[in-house]
Every structure is written in structure tokens, then in C-alpha cells.
Structure 1
Amino acid sequence: MSLNPLSVIFNKNQLVEENYVDWKRNLNIVLTAEKYKFVLDEVCPEAPKDDSTKSQKTAYEKWHHSDEMACCYILASMSNVLQQKHQNMETAFDIMESLQEMFGHQSR
């Protein structure tokens, strides 16, 4: 199995407590390149109803797929202890909010 070349960044930059600032910068690079970063900034579209348009359904599906991928990148790039703490969170945004609370005080 071949890994995405961008994910190799995380092999050397796995999140551990003292490197949050560097890790977040690398995460943003990967999520931007993969076009998943928007899920950290945009609210999930409303769940489609029976009478929703195709574009509404597509937007909802795109957001959810991108959020799942962002969660995978985030979780795969952190220590096992942090993975266990965050693996059951609903969205990538929720994970990042939790990490910000834990490590956001760090600065360069």
C-alpha cells in the first residue's frame, strides 16, 4: 500500500505535547493541499431532506467526506495517547478545538 506523499510529513512530525505549533502548521499544509481544510472553517451544510436539490445533497456529502478524511489525517498524525482521547469526537473541528484547549498556549 502506498501512502499519500503529503502524509509522509507526519512521519517526522507526529503530534506530541511539546510540538503543537509545528504540527498544526504541517497539518494545515496537508489539509490545504488535499482540499480538506475547509471543514475546519465552514459549518456543515444542513442535512438534505427528501425535497433537497442535487447540489444541496452534493455539498452535504462533500463536506462529510472531507471531514472524515481530515479526521483521519489528524488522528493518524498524533500519538496513541492523543488518538485514544480524540477518536470518538464527531468532527475534525471538534478535535482541533480540543487540541487548541490542550496546547494552544504554546508559542514559538
Structure 2
Amino acid sequence: MSTNLTLRSILDANKLTRPNFSNWLQNLRIVLRQEKKLYVLDTPVPSEPCSDATDEELEKYQCFIDDNEQATCVMLACMSPQLQRQHENMDTPTMILHLKELFVAQSRVEKYQISKALFQCKMTEGSSVNVHVPKMIGYIEKLAQLGFVMNHELSFDLVL
């Protein structure tokens, strides 16, 4: 149980905000994997079993519903109050789909704007290398935070 709380503290320290969606999702996957509930993120909620279902089918369904509820609570707990209100009545797979639609499109525009600034970045004559290089490194790091990781060689070549 203490391991659960320790891993959940990762999510508490990194609540979901617009620019950190991919990092937040990665941390959420780590926590849910450790709690053996990762499967609920990508599995649609099953239909309720019919009245003549076996005990095994009923148990499997109830297990999914319980795991889904716990995963939903973990997700809601590590969001801003505004996002909590928007997603409080959704199941886990629906919530993940909605968040991806909401944030991935925004991050694509942001990635474009940052990469455009990076590729247009030129050092003017007489300006300081001490200002230019950190600015370019900052662009490269912002792109990495948005999930666009360049290999080391390309990053190095761009700065030069």
C-alpha cells in the first residue's frame, strides 16, 4: 500500500495542465501498471452481463467496473478543478480519448510554432553565444516535453 501512495505522489506533484499532457499520461500509466489497472485505459467498458450470466462473467464484469472506478478517481484527483468538472461523469477510456482529443491537437500547434521558431533562429552578428545557445536549447527542450524528441546529433547540428 505504501508503494501505491509513493507512486501516486508522482501524479500529485505533476497535476494535469495543458503543456504536460504526455508526461502526465506517462506517469498515470506507471501508477496504473503498478496497481494492475492499466488495462482499463484502453479497454471499452463492457456491456452489463445478461441475467443468465455465469458467476465468472459477473465477477469479471464487476472487477472491470471496480478497476475502472479506481482509475477514474486517480485520474480526477490529479487534474485541475476545471478539468475535474469537465470529466467527472466519464469512464476511464472515454476520459482518455477526450483528453487526447483536447490536448494532442493543441500540442501539435504548439510543436509547430516552437519548431518554426527553432529553425528560424539565427545568431545575429555581434550577439552573444551565451544568449543564443540557451535560447535554442530551450526550444529543443520544449519540443521534447511535447513528445517531439530529436536525436542528439540533430540537436547538436541545429545549435551549430
Query: TM-score of the superposition, structure 1-length normalised?
Result: 0.89
Indicate the residue corresponding to 2:47 in structure 1. Answer: 46
What are the residue-to-residue correspondences of 1:29-44 with 2, within 5 Å? 29-44=30-45
| Cα RMSD (Å) | 1.6
On the 8 A contact 1:40/1:92 being kept in 2, the answer is yes
What are the residue-to-residue correspondences of 1:18-97 with 2, within 5 Å? 18-89=19-90, 91-97=91-97
Query: How far apart, in 1, do the equivalents of 2:93 and 2:24 lie?
Result: 16
For structure 2, list consecutive stretches of 5 or more residues without a partner in the other structure: 108-145, 148-160
Query: How far apart, in 2, do the equivalents of 1:14 and 1:71 lie?
Result: 14
Helix, strand or coil: the match of 2:82? helix
Query: How far apart, in 1, do the equivalents of 2:60 and 2:44 lie?
Result: 11
Query: How far apart, in 1, do the equivalents of 2:47 and 2:81 lie?
Result: 33
**Structure (1/2) with the larger helix percentage:** 2
Tell me how many residue pairs correspond in the alignment. Answer: 106
Query: TM-score of the superposition, structure 2-length normalised?
Result: 0.62
For structure 1, list consecutive stretches of 5 or more residues without a partner in the other structure: none
Highest relative contact order (Cα 8 Å, sep 6+), 1 or 2?
A: 1
Query: How far apart, in 2, do the equivalents of 1:69 and 1:14 lie?
Result: 17
Report the AA paired with residue 31 of structure 2. V
- Report the CA distance between 1:9 and its aligned residue: 0.7
Runs ≥4 residues deviating over 6 A? none
Query: How far apart, in 2, do the equivalents of 1:45 and 1:16 lie?
Result: 30
Report the AA paired with residue 10 of structure 2. I
Helix, strand or coil: the match of 1:104? helix
Query: How far apart, in 2, do the equivalents of 1:75 and 1:85 lie?
Result: 10
Indicate the residue corresponding to 1:17 in structure 2. Answer: 18
For each residue in 1:16-55, what CA deviation from the matched residue of structure 2 results, as whole angstroms up to 9, or x when unmatched? 1111011010000001111111112223333122211111
Indicate the residue corresponding to 1:102 in structure 2. Answer: 102
Percent of aligned pairs with the same amino acid: 35
